[in-house]
Amino acid sequence: MQGRVLIIAGSDSGGGAGIQADIKACAAMDAYSGTAITALTAQDTLGVHGVHPVPLDFIRHQIRLSLRDIGADAIKTGMLGDAATIDAVCDALAEDGQGIPLVADPVMVAKGGSNLLAPDAVATLKRRLVPAAALLTPNIPEAEVISGMRITGLEEMRAAAAAMLAMGVPAVLLKGGHLEGNRLLDLLATRDGSEVFESARIHSRHTHGTGCTLASSIAAGLAQGMALRDAVLRGRAYVQAALRTAPGLGQGHGPLNHGVTVDPARIEALTHGADAALA
Ligand SMILES: Nc1ncnc2c1ncn2[C@@H]1O[C@H](COP(=O)(O)OP(=O)(O)OP(=O)(O)O)[C@@H](O)[C@H]1O
Ligand SMILES: [Mg+2]
């Protein structure tokens, strides 16, 4: 195991997205993960059925303890819910998380359509979270809200990414999963230039948590000392492998196979008393 990630996000009781996806993605990348939970959601593959926020003091407490004891080599934020939570998280990170690269996934709407960020929180997100991040990972609808631009293709993705860089974040990974078509484009934009990563769309309804999984696997890569581009490439390859081998659970948008990197032969060895080989 190498690299420590602190994940600050909401819990998905369905296990496919949120904190649960984040922890599984870090483990799959062989990184450690600690958590500060911002909200509990009662959720399944069909949608979000309830949200129970965590008191702000308690969110700050989790972040402080995690950073002061175990520490972190990268931090990932997911669902923050409202402006007060964004402020509390940014305050806690300014106190104890200085200098640690932050991957901010600006989660706004769940795959099933439920709102995960109060509409009046967008200004706070732009003012506090975006400039604090080392990498921002919006999907198309989130990039439209943050940049105030309509995005229907690659040229507009480039313009929106430039607008977000101008808000003070050094790198933006604008995810193209929500655009139509069989070619899927993700744009990585930095102040030094941009690069488009292209892949074939995997036709599947089991896409719950792709965004959380990608952001956390990139955070794991940064925690392990990888260059940003390498961490993005590995994260994308991981998400695609996890999509391709999704277990097909649930009646809606089912989860990915987060354990696609796990070696069954090593688990089998445990059942035959060969645990010494793993020590
Ligand atoms: N059907 C698909 N086939 C292949 N790759 C996909 C597919 N859907 C999403 N991806 C990839 O998954 C990653 C996440 O992109 P996406 O646009 O789905 O994020 P998201 O909307 O934030 O996800 P979430 O709904 O989980 O928050 C990107 O790298 C994207 O290219
Ligand atoms: Mg997302």
pLDDT tens per residue across span 83-92: 999 999 999 9
* Shortest-distance Cα residue to atom 12 of ligand 1: 210
113 band by pLDDT with thresholds 50, 70 and 90:
confident
pLDDT for residue 275: 65
Identity at 122, one-letter amino acid code: V
User: CA-to-CA distance for 163 and 165, rounded, in angstroms?
Assistant: 6
Q: How confident is the model at residue 279 (pLDDT cuts 50, 70, 90)?
A: low
pTM over 0.95: yes
Pocket of ligand 1 (CB under 6 A): 17, 111, 139, 175-178, 184, 186, 199, 201-202, 204, 207, 209-212, 214, 236, 239-240, 243
Hey, which residues are catalytic here? 175, 207, 209-212
Nearest protein Cα to ligand 1, atom 24? 211
pLDDT computed for residue 53 by the predictor: 96
Ligand 2 centroid distance, CA of 212 (Å): 6
pLDDT digits (tens, 9 = 90+) for 170-191: 999 999 999 988 999 999 999 9
Among the listed ranges 31-45, 55-69, 100-114, 151-165, which one has the minimum average pLDDT value?
A: 100-114
- Counting atoms of ligand 1 from 1, which one is nearest the CA of 137? 22
Residues 6+ apart with CB under 8 A from 108: 115, 116, 117, 141, 142, 145
The whole-angstrom separation of Cα 220 and Cα 222 is 5
**pLDDT in the model for residue 112:** 76
How far, CA to CA in Å, does 59 sit from each of 9, 87, 91, 99?
10, 11, 11, 20
Contacts 24+ apart (CB under 8 A), 140-148: 140/174, 140/175, 140/176, 140/177, 140/178, 140/179, 141/108, 141/109, 141/178, 142/106, 142/107, 142/108, 142/109, 143/172, 143/174, 145/108, 146/106, 146/122
In this prediction, residue 114 has a pLDDT band, given cuts at 50, 70 and 90, of confident
* pLDDT one-digit tens code per residue, 17-70: 999 999 999 999 999 999 999 999 999 999 999 999 999 999 999 999 999 999
